[in-house]
Structure 1
């Protein structure tokens, strides 16, 4: 079944294209949800750095799709604000592309899922809460 796609010229999305996809997924989140994420940095990298690999006790750099780093809202005032790094969500492009290649989901859906899941850690949301948000995106 050829849908007129010239497969010989297709490439995996670059970091820049992946960032654009991530921005689009973020803009597609419910406004109330986005309003509570002010100040969270969202970035895309190819792989986790060695420190993350060690902290998360990962066997492979493909074992993680995204990561929330920082102080979630549930812990917010328990930690002094001075000198604290901003809360950050990182999506890992290569592991996400690998997951996409092995599953029957669209790349856009996977990116949105990882983004919602990692932002959900900022809020201290349960998996059920995150699934409900995804259902409305």
Structure 2
């Protein structure tokens, strides 16, 4: 049985609690959306590294909420030698700022970022991602 997550957090969760929230958000997404991502790993860090920010041309670390790292479906082949598993990085501090400046739950913010990081990587339209988020409920 899954642990119940408090989606109405009143204080900022630490990295471990944030990771639990992210895993719960991922598990709530429709299987048809999660399946193509395979054994996706979700990693939570306070901020993106300077190297990542520089590579993306981002000056302010608070501007990057998440990042997908992996090979998109259109580039994968069954004949490929498996590399590292695909991974979504979630950046806790920027996500907390986004939550603080919104009228939605932290769980909704995290779900939104997960859907968009995976969805954009796999070529989903914005309309598709809206439907996926709606199907996750809250």
5 Å-filtered alignment, 1:76-95, equals: 76-77=76-77, 81-82=80-81, 84-95=83-94
Q: Which residue of 1 aligns with 2:62?
A: 62
Bigger radius of gyration: 1
Unaligned segments of structure 2, at least 5 residues? 1-9
Given the two structures, how large is their TM-score scaled by the length of structure 1? 0.84
Q: Which residue of 1 aligns with 2:125?
A: 126
Give the paired residue count: 126
Q: Which residue of 2 aligns with 1:7?
A: none
Q: Which residue of 2 aligns with 1:75?
A: 75
In the TM superposition, what is the alpha-carbon distance from 1:37 to its structure 2 partner? 2.0
Given the two structures, how large is their TM-score scaled by the length of structure 2? 0.83
In the TM superposition, what is the alpha-carbon distance from 1:49 to its structure 2 partner? 0.6
Task: Give distance in 1, aligned partners of 2:51 and 2:84.
Answer: 16
In the TM superposition, what is the alpha-carbon distance from 1:126 to its structure 2 partner? 1.8
Unaligned segments of structure 1, at least 5 residues? 1-9
